[in-house]
Structure 1
């Protein structure tokens, strides 16, 4: 292309060579700009180096600022333990104010403690709390204990209720024990147990099917009926020894 352009301009041979070399140099520079002969650059190392330089600049600026304003704040503040001590004083003052101004007003609403009656308050909920730690899995578990005789179920209703609770019933102590730990908190597990007990009682009172033909089996508890010792054997044993 360069030779054709030179001929069209009717240049001499020396001038044609100069034009050709110029176009070749321009073509080489355009190729390098297009990325054909690009150099590999380690951007990660470049970023680390650049970041390090910026950090040094910022640190130098911070040190200069501290040296410039050191006299303004060097002796006007407490150390860490001093702040902790002041915070403890504030806590004591807060509770002293509560004792002086709030407790006298709360005394007007005080009521005498009355222990719960055993006939109406027979549900026993048991839970554990681990002090000093976060809420653990075992702290969510709640156990419900009650005497089945206090539920007021009789005959076929009691039979059906014992079939529903299954192995959770202890025939020796007449105690029902249920536990729950699937909810997020112990309070929700407690409510879940109370709702489950209400549903079991409601199901036991339904008259559609009382399961009278299904017998109760307490073999799972290892319960064995104790036979009374025959008194007539005592006289025979005494006679044999004489």
Structure 2
């Protein structure tokens, strides 16, 4: 009996499988656009994106209204917050002037000029309020060459080594450094460089006495003397 039923159902199952295969085949043709009815994926995706964006925006607005409640418009805008930040900075420095500056007199020391043995002069820049400035790292070294204790061939060799950094009009050597991360390291690098130049100038292996000095790079500027007759005469 079961074999008879199976024989009867077999054609029907085959027909159903054939119809399913044809429908899948037809849908595949529609998907790839081979039939007359084509599917526009770009328009479909744009429509879905627009619908989803509207749904998400509505959900976000509802969540914001739920979280903010009654204080939605009580907060300041960006410029208001910046103004408050500036006011806090001013108040901080006012408190320092009132409570900390009067105590600084206890640590005050009288000014003493540097001794004559301190011939190196370092110049640096400090930007108040911002610690990430490139010019704050730069250090300039100035020194009178006549105070270095070099004479004769040593001085000649030293001037050849420093080149255009020497000003023959003022007898001043000027060097700058900004390759290190901090001004203190650049200051140390300048001091080490100057020491290396002096050591090299004192070596007796080759003094380069046959190489003449050339100061053509320096442009001399004539300074007009101030006329003394223009000075006000004393009543005495």
What TM-score do you get using the length of structure 2 for normalisation? 0.60
Counterpart CA distance in 2 for 1:124 and 1:192 is 14
Task: Say if 1:167 and 1:221, in contact at 8 Å, map to a contact too.
Answer: no
The residue aligned with 2:175 is 178
List aligned pairs for 1:19-168, cutoff 5 A: 21-29=15-23, 38-39=31-32, 46-64=44-62, 72-73=70-71, 86-117=84-115, 119-126=116-123, 135=133, 142-168=139-165
Q: Given the superposition, is the C-alpha separation of residues 161 and 42 from structure 1 closer, same or farther in structure 2, using an over 3 Å criterion?
A: farther
Are residues 1:200 and 2:197 paired?
yes
Gaps spanning 5+ residues in structure 1: where? Answer: 1-8, 224-242
Provide the C-alpha distance between the structure 1 equivalents of 2:208 and 2:127, rounded to a whole number of angstroms: 47
Is the contact made by 1:126 and 1:142 (CA closer than 8 Å) also made in structure 2? yes
Which has a greater percent of helix?
1
Larger radius of gyration: 1
**CA displacement at 1:147 relative to structure 2:** 1.1
Mean Cα deviation higher: 17-26 or 174-183 = 17-26
How far 1:73 sits from its partner (Å)? 1.6
Q: Distance in 2 between matches of 1:143 and 1:45?
A: 67
Does 2:180 match 1:217?
no
Question: CA distance change for structure 1 residues 99 and 172 in 2, over 3 Å: closer, same or farther?
Answer: closer
Distance 1:149 1:10 in 2: 122
Does the CA-based 8 Å contact 1:171-1:218 persist in structure 2? no
Distance 1:57 1:116, change over 3 A: same
Q: Distance in 1 between matches of 2:207 and 2:64?
A: 89
For residue 73 of structure 1, give the secondary structure of its aligned residue in structure 2. coil
1:22, distance to aligned residue in structure 2 (A): 3.7
SS at match of 1:221: coil
Whole-Å separation in 2 of the counterparts to 1:95 and 1:128: 22
SS of structure 2 residue aligned to 1:144: strand
Secondary structure of the residue aligned to 1:217 is coil
SS in 1 for 2:175: strand
Q: Deviations over 1:114-168 (max 9, x none)?
A: 2334x333334455689999846x7765443321111112334323322322333
Q: 1:52 to 1:120 in 2, by over 3 A?
A: farther
> In 2, are the aligned partners of 1:161 and 1:200 still within 8 Å (CA)?
yes
Matched pairs, number: 207
Distance 1:96 1:139 in 2: 26
